[in-house]
C-alpha cells in the first residue's frame, strides 16, 4: 500500500495549485515606456521630421518602440493582470497645477502624491499628463486598436518610486509606467476635461504656462480601470527611451464636439502654425507580446452587448477560466484513480505469484525491494 498511498498524498495537494496560480503571478508587469520629458520644452524634433528622430536619438530606431497597433485577436488574455488602482488623484482646488504649451503638446504637471498602487508589480508616482490629437479633419490618437485611430489620446506618466525623480527613472528599463486612454466625440460636455480645456487660450504660444486649480484627475481616465492592454514599449517622443510599461484602457472617454474642436485648434506650434496631428505613427512590434486583462476575443457563444462590450467579455472570460480548471481537475483525478487501480492490480498479481511455491523466493525479494524504495 505504501506506493499508492504516497501517490495519492502527492497528487491531492496538486489539485489545489490551479487556484493558487492567480495570486502568485504578477511578473508580467515591470516594463517600460514613456512620453515626454517634462520641463524640456526646447527640443528641436518635430512630427514633420520623423525620419531623423533615430539619427539624433538612437533609441527611436529600437525594437521596443511606441505607439503600436493593438490587434485584439493577437492579444494574450492574462487573468493575472489585476485592475489598475490609483490613489491621491482627487486634488483640492487650493492646490495649483502648472499647465504648459511645450510646443509638442499641452502638459499638466502632477504632484508626486498621485500614485499607481495596483495593477503593476511595483509602485509608481505621477509626473505629468499630456494629450495627443489630430485636426478638424482627422483623428490623432497614437495607439490604434485593430487599425482604428481614435480622435485623441491622454497619457498619464508615472515613474518607479525606487528612483528619485522622473529624469533618473526614464533611463532605466523598469523606470516608467504610462496610462493611456482614448478620447472620442460623444454627447454632453466632459466636466473634467473642461478643467484643462478652459485654460488653453491662456497658453496659445509655445513656452507659455498658466496655473490650474486642482480637481479630480481620475475623472480624466475611464471609470473602468479593469479592462486594459499591457505591453513593453517606449516614450513616443524623443529621446524614445524604451523604459515604459504601457497600459491602454479598453474604455474610452467622451468629449463634446465643441471640446474636441478647442483641443485641436487652440495651441500654436514652434513654426507658429496651429499645433495639430501631434502623434507618432505606430511602430513595429518586433515580436513583442501584448497582454489583455480581459477576454479580448469574444468566445463563439458570446452575447453581444452594445452598451458595454468590455463588461460582457469580462464575464464570459471568467466562465472560460472555470472550464479550464474543471478539465484540469478531471485529468488529475483520472490520473490518481488510474495509479491506484494499477497498484491494486499489480499487488494482486504479485500475491498470486507468491502463492506459487517454485518462485516464492525470487518474488519475495523483488517485492521487499519495491516496498522499501
Ligand X SMILES: *[C@@H]1O[C@H](CO)[C@@H](O)[C@H](O)[C@H]1NC(C)=O
Is 89 an interacting residue with respect to ligand X (CB under 6 A)? no
The packing angle between helices 2-20 and 360-372, to 10°, is 30
* Cβ-Cβ contacts under 8 Å for 357 (sequence gap 6 or more): none
CB of 252 to ligand X, least distance (A): 5
Binding test (CB under 6 A) with ligand X, winner from 3, 8, 30, 268: 30
**Catalytically annotated residue among 29, 36, 104, 155:** 104
Which entry of Zn ion, ligand X, none binds 28, CB below 5 to 8 A by partner kind?
ligand X
Residue list 166-185, contact with ligand X (CB under 6 A) = 182
Least CB distance to ligand X at residue 232 (A): 4
Q: Does 289 bind ligand X (CB under 6 A)?
A: yes
Does 31 interact with ligand X (rule: CB under 6 A)? yes
Tell whether residue 226 is a contact of Zn ion (CB under 5 A). Answer: no
Query: d(Cα 347, Cα 106) in Å, to the nearest integer?
Result: 79
- The residues in 148-187 that bind Zn ion, with binding defined as CB under 5 A, are 155
Closest CA to 284 of 24, 21, 46, 61: 61
Whether 143 sits among the annotated catalytic residues: the reply is no
Question: Contact between 35 and Zn ion (CB under 5 A)?
Answer: yes
> Does residue number 160 form part of the binding site for ligand X (CB under 6 A)?
no
CB nearer to ligand X: give 195 or 313. 313
Q: What is the smallest separation between the CB atom of 315 and Zn ion, expressed in angstroms?
A: 32
Task: Report the residue from 105, 234, 250, 278 that binds ligand X according to the rule CB under 6 A.
Answer: 250
Instruction: List, in sequence order, every residue forming a beta bridge with 213; answer none if it has no partner.
Output: 96
235 contributes a contact to ligand X by CB under 6 A? no
Instruction: Answer yes or no whether residue 122 interacts with ligand X by CB under 6 A.
Output: no
CB-neighbour burial class of residue 79 (10 A; exposed 0-12, middle 13-18, buried 19+): middle
Give the one entry of Zn ion, ligand X, none that residue 135 binds, where binding means its C-beta sits below a cut-off of 5 to 8 angstroms depending on kind.
none
| Contacts to ligand X from residues 140-159, by CB under 6 A | 145-146
Active site residues: 104
Site residues, ligand X (CB under 6 A): 27-28, 30-31, 72, 145-146, 182, 230-232, 250, 252, 289, 291, 296, 309-310, 313
Site residues, Zn ion (CB under 5 A): 35, 155, 236
Amino acid at each position: 500500500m505504501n506506493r499508492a498511498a504516497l501517490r495519492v498524498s502527492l497528487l491531492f495537494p496538486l489539485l489545489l495549485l490551479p487556484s493558487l496560480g492567480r495570486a502568485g503571478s504578477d511578473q508580467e508587469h515591470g516594463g517600460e515606456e514613456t512620453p515626454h520629458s517634462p520641463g524640456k520644452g526646447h527640443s528641436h524634433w518635430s512630427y514633420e521630421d520623423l525620419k531623423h528622430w533615430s539619427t539624433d536619438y538612437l533609441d527611436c530606431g529600437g525594437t521596443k518602440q511606441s505607439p503600436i497597433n493593438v490587434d485584439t485577436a493577437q492579444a494574450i488574455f492574462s487573468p493575472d493582470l489585476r485592475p489598475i488602482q490609483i490613489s491621491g488623484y482627487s486634488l483640492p482646488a487650493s492646490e495649483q497645477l502648472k499647465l504648459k504649451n511645450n510646443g509638442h503638446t499641452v502638459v499638466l504637471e502632477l504632484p508626486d502624491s498621485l500614485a499607481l498602487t495596483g495593477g503593476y508589480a511595483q509602485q509608481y508616482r505621477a509626473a505629468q499628463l499630456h494629450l495627443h490629437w489630430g485636426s478638424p479633419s482627422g483623428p490623432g490618437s497614437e495607439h490604434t486598436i485593430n487599425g482604428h485611430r481614435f480622435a485623441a489620446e491622454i497619457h498619464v506618466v508615472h515613474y518607479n518610486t525606487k528612483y528619485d525623480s522622473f529624469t533618473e527613472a526614464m533611463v532605466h528599463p523598469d523606470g516608467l509606467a504610462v496610462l493611456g486612454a482614448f478620447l472620442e466625440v460623444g454627447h454632453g460636455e466632459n466636466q473634467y476635461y473642461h478643467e484643462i480645456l478652459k485654460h488653453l487660450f491662456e497658453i496659445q504660444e509655445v513656452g507659455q504656462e498658466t496655473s490650474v486649480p486642482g480637481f479630480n484627475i481620475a475623472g480624466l481616465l475611464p471609470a473602468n480601470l479593469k479592462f486594459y492592454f499591457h505591453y513593453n514599449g517606449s516614450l513616443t517622443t524623443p529621446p524614445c527611451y524604451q523604459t515604459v510599461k504601457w497600459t491602454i484602457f479598453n474604455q474610452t472617454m467622451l468629449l463634446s464636439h465643441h471640446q474636441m474642436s478647442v483641443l485641436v485648434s487652440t495651441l500654436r506650434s514652434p513654426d507658429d502654425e496651429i499645433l495639430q496631428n501631434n502623434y507618432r505613427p505606430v511602430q513595429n512590434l518586433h515580436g513583442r507580446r501584448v497582454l489583455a486583462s480581459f477576454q479580448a476575443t469574444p468566445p463563439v457563444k458570446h452575447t453581444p452587448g452594445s452598451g458595454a462590450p468590455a463588461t460582457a467579455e469580462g464575464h464570459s472570460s471568467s466562465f472560460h477560466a472555470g472550464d479550464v480548471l474543471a478539465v484540469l481537475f478531471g485529468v488529475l483525478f483520472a490520473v490518481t484513480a488510474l495509479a491506484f487501480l494499477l497498484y491494486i492490480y499489480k499487488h494482486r498479481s504479485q500475491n498470486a505469484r507468491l502463492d506459487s511455491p517454485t518462485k516464492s523466493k525470487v518474488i519475495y525479494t523483488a517485492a521487499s525491494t519495491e516496498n522499501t524504495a
